[in-house]
Structure 1
Amino acid sequence: MSAEDLVLVVGATGGVGQLVVGKLLEKNVKVRVLTRNAAKAEKMFDNKVEIAVGDIREANTLPAAMPNITHIICCTGTTAFPSTRWDFDPQPNFLEWGQIFLDSEYREAKAKNTPTKVDAEGVSNLVAAAPRNLQRFVFVSSCGVHRKDKFPFSVLNAFGVLDAKQKGEAAIANSGLPYTIIRPGRLIDGPFTSYDLNTLLKATTNGKLGVVLGQGDTLSGDASRIDVAAACVESIFIPSTTNKAFDIINQGTRPAVINWEALFSQLTNSRE
């Protein structure tokens, strides 16, 4: 990467996204964040990033975020099961929750922030708006996208989160843009709420388990948000990760330093 590179982080105020921004700033990479709440992002990142106001669910808000962008890291997502984060309008009463769980058409009509609207339609909008000379599009997907019929992923996909992630992956892979897909297991470690920048820069897994990468959607287990964010950032510095998808979980003994280039290079001869 060069001093002229500019990374657009989408989903920057979420758990993984906050950490991605912090790790990019540690590497002195210029960052622009796409957010619906400029004041929140300015406070969170201490005015050290460019702010673009937009929403991937609204395609017409995205072109203004794209000038001079060289890389996109997309960390968007919502809960796998219906919750207040699905942004129902108006908020359902007790009886309506039953209909939401049973009727997919009613659910999609009532909610603004379902997996379909975020990870399928929203990511497709982002792909369409991305500069055609983009150097890399990094997308945080999920383990299980190719194992939706197998437990526990069949339960996780009860409301379509893996279907939506897979559609997002397909939109990226079929776009002609260079990409890297990161598929974490069940996300663990903070931030669980908004951190300030100083806290983000000091984020640590506290000596927890080592990092295991795989390909072909074969891994299962927990994945530290901190390591997922690091994988997203490190991948854009490693050319051999282009047009590949990687599973990531935490397992085994953690070395003093994670050698991301070695971890990725062990797998980059794969056909995926």
Structure 2
Amino acid sequence: MISNSDKILVAGATGGVGQLVVAKLLAKDLSIQALTRNRSKAESMFEGRVEIVEGDIRYPNTLLEATNGINYIICCTGTTAFPSLRWDFASLFQPANSPEAVDGEGVKNLLAAAPQDLKRFVFVSSCGVLRKDELPYNILNAFGVLDAKLMGEKAIIASGLPYTIIRPGRLIDGPYTSYDLNTLLRAKTDGKKAVKIKLGDDLNGEASRVDVANVCVESLFYDTTVNKAFSIANEGERPALTNWSQLFTTM
């Protein structure tokens, strides 16, 4: 069981899901180390409440300090599914920040740097990774984002480390880029829809970034999520209180 003495590394901590994961971990008084490419951005966002380490999963030599003494890793890194300025085109055919570089090779680099006694590696993947040749996922995968996510998943499973793979539907709500930690801590699911979780890759629809962050954090408290890959979406009427134990037991 995770405890306050455990240290959690959040990769992609300033991204749309990552910043919410950090906020949820803070709300539980857990010890956090934020891995970021941009220290000043992270310092502004998290107001000195988390330990910040500068690194980039695309470059293995930047990860050794970040993973030293870490007990849990939550990997929320990613880039756009289609070519954009975020791809950072080093050359026409080898963008430096492509899905393959981040979600494929980058995840492999993070795994290689992870301590051998790591208690859990949580990875935010995507619905459709096992259906990437079917509509509408073949369109989403036109530039290889699902291929890259699946590459990362396979590397995680092959690593022998305990893992939890989360496959959200189309992300909604946020990202909350106000750089206001109080805003992050108050973030709610705009759609007010219930969380649905299912083993495998069978769900469709939308998934709130807030609830994806919730699942990343809550899964650390349940052994039923160890070495499991499951999809998440929001649908139906939301109960007053989400019963995570029941969701993780019956998925």
Both proteins in one fold, TM over 0.5: yes
What amino acid is the match of 1:28?
A: D
Question: Structure 1 regions of 5+ residues with no counterpart?
Answer: 91-105, 268-272
Residue equivalent to 2:69: 68
Mean CA deviation greater in 235-244 or 191-200:
191-200
Deviations 1:59-100 (A, max 9, x none): 01101111221000000000100001111248xxxxxxxxxx
Q: Does the 8 Å CA contact 1:213/1:249 hold for their aligned counterparts?
A: yes
- Secondary structure (helix, strand or coil) at the match of 2:93 reads helix
Question: Are residues 207 and 148 of structure 1, via their aligned partners in 2, closer, same or farther at CA, if it must alter by over 3 Å?
Answer: closer
CA shift, 1:254, in A, is 0.6
Does the 8 Å contact 1:35/1:41 carry over to 2? yes
Match of 1:54? Answer: 55
Classify the secondary structure of the residue corresponding to 1:162: helix
Q: Deviations over 1:185-243 (max 9, x none)?
A: 00000125343211100101146211111112011100000000000000001111000
Distance 1:253 1:2 in 2: 32
C-alpha distance in structure 1 between counterparts of 2:61 and 2:195, whole Å: 39
Distance 2:39 2:137 in 1: 35
3-state SS of the aligned residue for 2:207?
A: strand
Q: Is residue 2:25 matched to residue 1:41? A: no
1:184 equivalenced with 2:185 (yes/no): no
Q: Percent identity?
A: 64
- 1:84 aligns with 85
AA in 2 matched with 1:65: A
Over 3 Å counting, the alpha-carbon distance change for 1:207 and 1:160 in structure 2 is closer
Contact 1:23 1:233 in 2 (8 A): yes
Q: Is 1:107 the counterpart of 2:93 in the alignment?
A: yes
Distance in 2 separating the partners of 1:18 and 1:180: 19
1:122 to 99, 106, 115: 106
Partner Cα separation in structure 1 for residue 138 and residue 189 of structure 2: 29
Match of 1:147 in 2: 131
What letter corresponds to residue 188 of structure 2 in structure 1?
T
> Does structure 2 conserve the Cα–Cα contact (< 8 Å) formed by 1:207 and 1:254?
no
**2: CA distance between counterparts of 1:170 and 1:180?**
12
Count of residues in correspondence between the two structures: 250
Asked whether the equivalents of residues 134 and 177 of structure 1 are also in contact (C-alpha less than 8 Å), the reply is yes
Find runs of 4+ consecutive structure 1 residues off by over 6 angstroms: none
Q: 1:226 aligns with which of 197, 210, 215?
A: 210
Normalized against structure 1, the TM-score is what?
Answer: 0.90
Which is higher, the Rg of structure 1 or of structure 2?
1
Where does 1:109-258 land on structure 2 (aligned, <5 Å)? 111-206=95-190, 208-258=192-242
Which has the larger displacement, 119-128 or 193-202? 193-202
Partner Cα distance (1:195, 1:42) in 2: 10
Distance in 1 (CA, whole Å) between partners of 2:46 and 2:176 is: 16
Give RMSD over aligned pairs: 1.1
**In 1, distance between residues paired with 2:51 and 2:8?**
10
Given that residues 44 and 179 in structure 2 are in contact (C-alpha distance below 8 angstroms), is that contact kept between their aligned partners in structure 1? no
Taking the aligned partners of 1:163 and 1:176, their CA distance within structure 2 comes to 21
Pair 1:31–1:162, CA change in 2 (3 A): same
CA contact (8 A) 2:11 2:76 kept: yes
Q: What is aligned with 1:95?
A: none
Distance 2:126 2:4 in 1: 31
Structure 2, unpaired ranges of 5+: none
- Please state whether the residue corresponding to 2:80 is helix, strand or coil: coil
Q: How has the CA–CA distance of structure 1 residues 194 and 173 changed in structure 2, closer, same or farther, with 3 Å as cutoff?
A: farther
Task: Report the AA paired with residue 38 of structure 1.
Answer: R
State how far apart, in whole Å, the 1-side matches of 2:138 and 2:178 are: 31
